Copies of this chain bind each other. A is one copy, B any other.
Protein backbone atom coordinates (compact mmCIF):
# COMPACT_ATOMS: atom_id res chain seq x y z
CA UNK A 1 0.00 0.00 0.00
CA UNK A 2 2.82 2.41 0.88
CA UNK A 3 4.39 1.70 -2.54
CA UNK A 4 1.06 2.25 -4.29
CA UNK A 5 0.65 5.57 -2.43
CA UNK A 6 4.13 6.75 -3.47
CA UNK A 7 3.40 5.86 -7.09
CA UNK A 8 0.10 7.69 -6.97
CA UNK A 9 1.72 10.82 -5.52
CA UNK A 10 4.33 10.76 -8.30
CA UNK A 11 1.72 10.13 -11.00
CA UNK A 12 -1.03 12.51 -9.86
CA UNK A 13 0.68 14.96 -7.51
CA UNK A 14 2.31 18.19 -8.55
CA UNK A 15 5.39 19.73 -6.96
CA UNK A 16 5.73 23.52 -6.86
CA UNK A 17 8.62 25.74 -5.79
CA UNK A 18 8.90 26.13 -2.04
CA UNK A 19 8.40 22.37 -1.58
CA UNK A 20 4.66 22.61 -2.01
CA UNK A 21 2.95 19.37 -3.01
CA UNK A 22 -0.55 19.39 -4.44
CA UNK A 23 -2.47 16.14 -4.26
CA UNK A 24 -5.90 17.59 -4.92
CA UNK A 25 -6.42 15.05 -7.69
CA UNK A 26 -7.05 12.23 -5.22
CA UNK A 27 -6.62 13.24 -1.57
CA UNK A 28 -7.84 16.67 -0.50
CA UNK A 29 -9.94 18.41 -3.14
CA UNK A 30 -11.09 15.61 -5.39
CA UNK A 31 -11.15 12.38 -3.37
CA UNK A 32 -10.48 8.96 -4.82
CA UNK A 33 -12.80 7.23 -2.39
CA UNK A 34 -11.83 3.68 -3.32
CA UNK A 35 -8.13 4.47 -2.89
CA UNK A 36 -8.63 6.35 0.39
CA UNK A 37 -10.65 3.40 1.64
CA UNK A 38 -7.54 1.28 1.26
CA UNK A 39 -5.49 3.87 3.15
CA UNK A 40 -8.09 3.61 5.89
CA UNK A 41 -7.68 -0.14 6.00
CA UNK A 42 -3.94 0.38 6.43
CA UNK A 43 -4.53 2.67 9.41
CA UNK A 44 -6.78 -0.02 10.84
CA UNK A 45 -4.04 -2.65 10.51
CA UNK A 46 -1.66 -0.34 12.37
CA UNK A 47 -4.01 0.56 15.23
CA UNK A 48 -6.55 -2.27 15.44
CA UNK A 49 -5.29 -3.59 18.80
CA UNK A 50 -5.54 -0.18 20.46
CA UNK A 51 -9.23 -0.17 21.43
CA UNK A 52 -9.84 3.15 19.65
CA UNK A 53 -13.15 4.74 20.69
CA UNK A 54 -13.19 7.74 18.34
CA UNK A 55 -11.32 9.19 15.38
CA UNK A 56 -10.46 12.88 15.62
CA UNK A 57 -9.56 15.06 12.65
CA UNK A 58 -9.70 18.69 11.57
CA UNK A 59 -11.78 20.28 8.86
CA UNK A 60 -11.76 20.18 5.96
CA UNK A 61 -9.36 17.84 4.22
CA UNK A 62 -9.10 15.30 7.03
CA UNK A 63 -12.81 14.55 7.19
CA UNK A 64 -13.15 12.24 4.19
CA UNK A 65 -10.09 10.19 5.16
CA UNK A 66 -11.29 9.97 8.77
CA UNK A 67 -14.80 8.83 7.80
CA UNK A 68 -13.58 6.12 5.45
CA UNK A 69 -11.06 4.95 8.06
CA UNK A 70 -13.67 4.95 10.85
CA UNK A 71 -15.68 2.29 9.05
CA UNK A 72 -12.99 -0.28 9.84
CA UNK A 73 -12.83 0.65 13.52
CA UNK A 74 -16.61 0.93 13.80
CA UNK A 75 -16.29 4.18 15.78
CA UNK A 76 -17.57 7.74 15.23
CA UNK A 77 -15.57 10.59 13.75
CA UNK A 78 -15.22 13.95 15.45
CA UNK A 79 -13.82 16.84 13.48
CA UNK A 80 -12.46 20.03 14.99
CA UNK A 81 -14.02 23.14 13.48
CA UNK A 82 -12.03 26.15 12.40
CA UNK A 83 -14.57 28.94 12.71
CA UNK A 84 -17.11 29.90 15.30
CA UNK A 85 -20.49 29.37 13.70
CA UNK A 86 -23.68 30.48 15.39
CA UNK A 87 -24.70 26.83 15.54
CA UNK A 88 -21.75 25.86 17.70
CA UNK A 89 -22.46 25.82 21.41
CA UNK A 90 -20.42 27.81 23.91
CA UNK A 91 -19.31 24.75 25.77
CA UNK A 92 -16.22 24.10 23.66
CA UNK A 93 -12.55 23.25 23.99
CA UNK A 94 -10.50 25.69 21.92
CA UNK A 95 -6.87 25.65 20.73
CA UNK A 96 -5.04 28.02 18.44
CA UNK A 97 -3.38 26.54 15.35
CA UNK A 98 -0.99 28.26 12.98
CA UNK A 99 -1.27 27.35 9.30
CA UNK A 100 1.94 27.82 7.34
CA UNK A 101 0.02 26.99 4.14
CA UNK A 102 -2.53 29.74 4.60
CA UNK A 103 -0.37 32.10 6.64
CA UNK A 104 -2.99 32.50 9.36
CA UNK A 105 -3.72 31.66 12.98
CA UNK A 106 -7.00 29.88 13.51
CA UNK A 107 -8.89 28.75 16.56
CA UNK A 108 -10.00 25.15 16.33
CA UNK A 109 -12.71 23.86 18.59
CA UNK A 110 -14.80 20.90 19.55
CA UNK A 111 -17.85 20.69 21.74
CA UNK A 112 -16.95 19.33 25.16
CA UNK A 113 -19.77 16.79 25.18
CA UNK A 114 -18.15 14.79 22.36
CA UNK A 115 -14.78 14.13 23.98
CA UNK A 116 -14.21 12.65 27.43
CA UNK A 117 -11.63 11.05 29.69
CA UNK A 118 -12.98 7.65 28.61
CA UNK A 119 -11.94 8.18 25.00
CA UNK A 120 -8.99 6.53 23.28
CA UNK A 121 -8.36 8.75 20.28
CA UNK A 122 -6.79 8.10 16.90
CA UNK A 123 -5.99 11.34 15.09
CA UNK A 124 -6.18 11.17 11.28
CA UNK A 125 -4.97 13.84 8.85
CA UNK A 126 -3.80 14.17 5.27
CA UNK A 127 -0.45 15.94 5.88
CA UNK A 128 2.10 16.30 8.62
CA UNK A 129 4.65 19.10 8.16
CA UNK A 130 5.30 21.46 11.07
CA UNK A 131 2.89 19.55 13.25
CA UNK A 132 0.73 22.55 14.11
CA UNK A 133 -2.55 20.76 13.42
CA UNK A 134 -1.43 17.79 15.52
CA UNK A 135 -0.41 20.15 18.33
CA UNK A 136 -3.91 21.64 18.29
CA UNK A 137 -5.71 18.30 18.15
CA UNK A 138 -3.64 16.73 20.93
CA UNK A 139 -4.21 19.93 22.92
CA UNK A 140 -7.99 19.51 22.63
CA UNK A 141 -7.67 15.90 23.82
CA UNK A 142 -5.52 16.97 26.76
CA UNK A 143 -8.20 19.48 27.84
CA UNK A 144 -10.78 16.68 27.78
CA UNK A 145 -8.53 14.19 29.53
CA UNK A 146 -8.83 11.88 26.54
CA UNK A 147 -5.92 9.62 25.66
CA UNK A 148 -4.31 10.09 22.25
CA UNK A 149 -3.29 6.60 21.18
CA UNK A 150 -1.56 7.88 18.07
CA UNK A 151 -1.83 9.63 14.75
CA UNK A 152 -2.33 8.28 11.25
CA UNK A 153 -0.94 10.55 8.54
CA UNK A 154 -1.17 9.98 4.80
CA UNK A 155 1.81 12.12 3.72
CA UNK A 156 4.58 13.30 6.03
CA UNK A 157 6.92 16.03 4.85
CA UNK A 158 9.86 14.51 6.70
CA UNK A 159 12.11 17.45 5.79
CA UNK A 160 10.04 19.59 8.16
CA UNK A 161 10.37 19.24 11.87
CA UNK A 162 6.91 18.28 13.05
CA UNK A 163 7.29 14.50 12.83
CA UNK A 164 10.59 14.37 14.72
CA UNK A 165 9.49 16.86 17.34
CA UNK A 166 6.22 15.07 18.09
CA UNK A 167 7.74 11.57 18.07
CA UNK A 168 10.42 12.81 20.47
CA UNK A 169 7.63 14.04 22.73
CA UNK A 170 6.27 10.48 22.89
CA UNK A 171 3.44 10.59 20.36
CA UNK A 172 3.06 7.52 18.16
CA UNK A 173 2.83 8.69 14.54
CA UNK A 174 2.28 6.33 11.63
CA UNK A 175 2.79 8.02 8.26
CA UNK A 176 1.88 6.00 5.18
CA UNK A 177 4.63 7.74 3.23
CA UNK A 178 7.44 10.11 4.18
CA UNK A 179 8.90 12.60 1.74
CA UNK A 180 12.63 13.18 2.14
CA UNK A 181 12.76 16.06 -0.30
CA UNK A 182 11.13 17.42 -3.43
CA UNK A 183 11.44 20.12 -6.03
CA UNK A 184 9.84 20.75 -9.42
CA UNK A 185 12.92 19.66 -11.39
CA UNK A 186 14.05 16.53 -9.60
CA UNK A 187 10.67 15.38 -8.35
CA UNK A 188 10.02 13.61 -5.08
CA UNK A 189 12.27 11.34 -3.05
CA UNK A 190 10.77 9.21 -0.30
CA UNK A 191 12.31 7.87 2.88
CA UNK A 192 12.42 4.07 2.87
Contact = CB atoms under 8 A, between A and B. Distances in A.
A76 interface: yes
Interface residues of A, number: 43
Contact of A64 (B67, B74, B110): B67
A192 interface: no
Interface in A23-42: 24-26, 29-34, 36-37
A59 interface: yes
Contact of A30 (B33, B68, B102, B114): B114
A82 to B, nearest CB: 8
A14 B59 CA distance: 22
Kindly report how many copies of this chain are found in the complex they form together. Answer: 2
Interface stretch (A83-91, A140-148, A149-157, A168-176): A83-91
Question: Which of A20, A32, A70 has most chain B Cβ within 10 Å?
Answer: A70
A85 B99 CA distance: 10
15 contacts: A25-B113, A26-B76, A29-B81, A29-B88, A31-B78, A33-B67, A33-B70, A33-B77, A34-B71, A37-B71, A60-B81, A60-B82, A63-B64, A64-B79, A86-B102
